Structure 1
């Protein structure tokens, strides 16, 4: 697909639109957009209209341009950004003063218009960790982030956790203090704001998983599936994945089925994972990551009904990457942003590139919306009422955010 953006449109050179699932394309910001610095250790969430990027780390940036926010939080990014898909435009929220100081390896969930950020670490890593929850409303112009004051049996301050949201409970799984690794599970009642212990490993069960951080999880409304992760010196495999039943509050191993050609994903940590719900059940996708020596550029799918792995040979990132951030829209499109990438010359650097692919065949209306933006990118600058009057569906016009954009800030 040829990318076009407002201000760059040339009707004489535009190519034909083609829908291409399971094929990465680079999502380039339009020529007028600000762009976040390259980073790793950040987290992202996505809705139908935008992607939201929180925090991150880069000790190699030249701060000679004297960005006040950057100087204050160096080498961490005390920032929240939004990327509007239709406009292909980055915008930084003016909320840095309200963000926590733990800005790397947090856990993040976007639920409706509420962004929830939990845990994380500052720099140097492990010396400052968090067990606090922060929330903000991403449709608010200021995007102010509030600390949620909780009570009860709080988890240890840590980073590299995983989160799920289920029935008004926020579950946190695993993580590290920098010294100790766990796969303990706690949950926060979002109505009473009271923490309780769900499961603490005591070595009394043969099925308790080894402690880990920078793992990912899948969830089918009944069980939590722990995917990979590791310690500073190890990475866990995917042949038998730890599964935690919420009803039984017990662990058991689940054997997975090999892809017919490529088998099972190699062990890894610091990978990205997303899940989508399909007519055939829940599917989890993992992308990239590393095992301490090898860095990956691959994409795998795990079906949580059959536990069958599928490897996508033709859907590979342009370079191996880890400590990146991944999110999927509700419609089933994967976005990968930033991370540490390496090439054949062992040149390791951080990225601020974004890549995307469809993970399913979406509704025809979604494909039509992409085609409209491809052929008529100038509509992103039109007034919402004009677009609605000419027949564009209101819920697509609202994705442009023409009336609710947060203030643009120079970087």
Structure 2
């Protein structure tokens, strides 16, 4: 039987009195402010898990509807943890997570996806989302560096009832197996930059034509004085012509942001970009294992954002924005809720950043960190009014996924937003 209007129950942000609903807390749109996304755990997944186990070294990607998480690492899961019961993949691959999770951004429901042929390298991969296709490149198993990958796998996420990773068989100048590399996907080309074997660090650049399935060696560093040093766990930004390398490092060194290496695809050579400091805070401190997203704002200006990171001595929680036209740094007023590294971030096409998991230092006075499964979100733009209205509706009523499409439509919710909820059912 279809739910009636009087059956609708509101979340703790509202109270009901004499037939009227009144908000306890008034929604307000706050850009550049991290908000915790509390998961809805009203149903269990395949083996009883309701949310992912805390992890680091994983990667996420997202669209306007879902966030997808691939892989990860946690050596601190106890042998008797009930969340790993009857999990054959955990038994075979622990302390790595051979799994793909989906978080519906409207309902905040996590779902562990049933997916065939998941690769067995599950930490420090490079991951991106191209349309409906999840692309996973490189990475490592454990011990780190003992089994690295130079393989590309694709998973068409539109085939929700028949998900499977497909190995891309390619020829040409294939890059060597590494982990901690970073990738850019543009038009039909996949660029991979840097990474490590666990012993050697590189900033070589290779390009895969996804139509011809042929790799091309774009640039091999020879440690010349004009070349940036090799590194891993760096991040990339891209303006359509230049690949900007942001941070990263080795086991001993982290690289800074005052001068940024830039690879010009037109001339196939490295350039050094001198950035402009924030008027008060100057530059981000050198770091690796941070996260980064980029977004083109309503004024068509392209920005990169870096969050957190680590430099061997210090874990960061600061957030910085780099204007990729003027190369001006700005430190945002708000920071991540706690110092974090080996986390991962992604941004929706509408301009909302999501950050998931990582090694968290909840007590900055203590050097001990622990892995987390927290999800935080932050707007980095002023979206369309309909998006703000949708977010306000979800703020006041977090159970819309429980109601039929016709009931929601008759309640005045546009079809495009009903489809977002549908994806969690």
Please state which band the TM-score falls in when normalised by the shorter chain.
over 0.9
Instruction: Note if 1:150 corresponds to 2:170.
Output: yes
Partner of 1:28: 38
Distance 2:171 2:214 in 1: 5
Distance 1:346 1:182 in 2: 30
Kindly state the Cα deviation for residue 383 of structure 1 after the two structures are TM-superposed: 2.2
Partner of 2:320: 300
Instruction: Note if 1:255 corresponds to 2:274.
Output: yes
Distance 1:187 1:172 in 2: 6
Instruction: Note if 1:199 corresponds to 2:219.
Output: yes
Runs of 5+ consecutive residues of structure 1 not aligned to the other structure: 1-5, 406-411
Q: 1:393 aligns with which of 414, 420, 423?
A: 414
Kindly state the Cα deviation for residue 8 of structure 1 after the two structures are TM-superposed: 7.1
Instruction: Note if 1:285 corresponds to 2:301.
Output: no
SS in 1 for 2:296: strand
SS in 2 for 1:296: strand
Partner of 1:409: none
Q: 1:378 aligns with which of 355, 375, 399?
A: 399
| Structural mapping, 1:258-407, within 5 Å | 258-278=277-297, 279-313=299-333, 315-342=334-361, 343=363, 344-402=365-423, 405=425
Distance 1:52 1:331 in 2: 17
Q: 2:26 aligns with which of 13, 16, 37?
A: 16
Q: Is the 8 A contact 1:215 1:229 kept in 2?
A: yes
Structure-2 change in CA distance of 1:8 and 1:100 (3 Å): farther
Structure-2 change in CA distance of 1:234 and 1:398 (3 Å): same
TM-score (norm 2): 0.90
Runs of 5+ consecutive residues of structure 2 not aligned to the other structure: 1-7, 16-22, 44-49
- Give deviations 1:204-251, integer Å, cap 9, x for gaps: 5x3311000000010010100000000011000000000011111010
Kindly state the Cα deviation for residue 378 of structure 1 after the two structures are TM-superposed: 2.9
Structure 1 vs Structure 2 CA RMSD:
1.6
Distance 1:350 1:370 in 2: 29
Runs of 4+ aligned residues of structure 1 deviating over 3 Å after TM superposition are: 388-391
Partner of 2:100: 80
Instruction: Note if 1:176 corresponds to 2:196.
Output: yes
Kindly state the Cα deviation for residue 384 of structure 1 after the two structures are TM-superposed: 2.5
Kindly state the Cα deviation for residue 69 of structure 1 after the two structures are TM-superposed: 2.4
Distance 1:14 1:109 in 2: 39
Q: Is the 8 A contact 2:236 2:292 kept in 1?
A: yes
SS in 2 for 1:352: coil
SS in 2 for 1:396: helix
TM-score (norm 1): 0.93
Q: 1:128 aligns with which of 139, 147, 150?
A: 147
Q: Is the 8 A contact 1:126 1:177 kept in 2?
A: yes
Kindly state the Cα deviation for residue 390 of structure 1 after the two structures are TM-superposed: 4.1
Partner of 1:104: 123
Kindly state the Cα deviation for residue 165 of structure 1 after the two structures are TM-superposed: 0.9
SS in 2 for 1:395: helix
Q: 2:73 aligns with which of 57, 71, 94?
A: 57
Partner of 2:159: 140
Distance 1:14 1:53 in 2: 34
Number of equivalenced pairs: 396
Distance 1:112 1:263 in 2: 37
Distance 2:408 2:9 in 1: 18
Kindly state the Cα deviation for residue 201 of structure 1 after the two structures are TM-superposed: 1.0
Distance 2:329 2:56 in 1: 28
Kindly state the Cα deviation for residue 144 of structure 1 after the two structures are TM-superposed: 1.4
